[in-house]
C-alpha cells in the first residue's frame, strides 16, 4: 500500500486539482462548461447572458457555474423571460452587479 499524503491547501487549489483529475475521465464535458470557460475571459463591466434556459435548468446551471468559479467573486442571477416560459441567466463578477 502506498503512503498516504495529507496536505492543507486553499479551497481554490483543491478545486483545481479535482477538476484536472476528473477532466480525463472519458473526455466528457458538461454542456455548461463553455459558460465557465467564457467567464474566464470577461473584462470588467462585461457579463454573460444565457437565454432559453428551462426552469429546471436554472439551479443546475447556477450550481455548476459556482462549483468552478470563486463564489466570492462571481454572481449568477436569473429572471423569467416575458416572451415565454424560459429564463435568462446572467453571469458576472459581483463588483459589476453593485
Instruction: Quick: pLDDT tens for 47-98.
Output: 999 999 999 999 999 999 888 888 889 999 999 988 888 999 999 999 988 8
What's this model's pTM, rounded to 2 decimal places?
A: 0.68
> Which positions ≥6 away from 39 have C-beta within 8 Å?
48, 65, 69, 74, 91
> Which positions ≥6 away from 81 have C-beta within 8 Å?
51, 87, 88
Domain boundaries, the chain: 31-97
Contact 22, 50 (CB under 8 A): no
Amino acid at each position: 500500500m502506498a503512503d498516504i499524503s495529507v496536505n492543507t491547501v486553499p479551497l481554490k487549489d483543491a478545486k483545481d486539482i479535482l477538476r484536472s483529475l476528473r477532466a480525463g475521465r472519458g473526455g466528457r464535458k458538461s454542456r455548461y462548461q463553455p459558460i465557465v470557460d467564457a467567464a474566464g475571459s470577461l473584462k470588467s463591466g462585461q457579463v454573460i447572458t444565457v437565454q432559453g434556459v428551462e426552469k429546471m435548468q436554472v439551479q443546475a446551471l447556477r450550481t455548476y457555474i459556482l462549483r468552478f468559479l470563486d463564489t466570492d467573486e462571481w454572481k449568477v442571477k436569473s429572471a423569467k423571460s416575458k416572451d415565454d416560459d424560459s429564463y435568462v441567466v446572467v453571469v458576472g463578477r459581483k463588483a459589476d452587479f453593485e
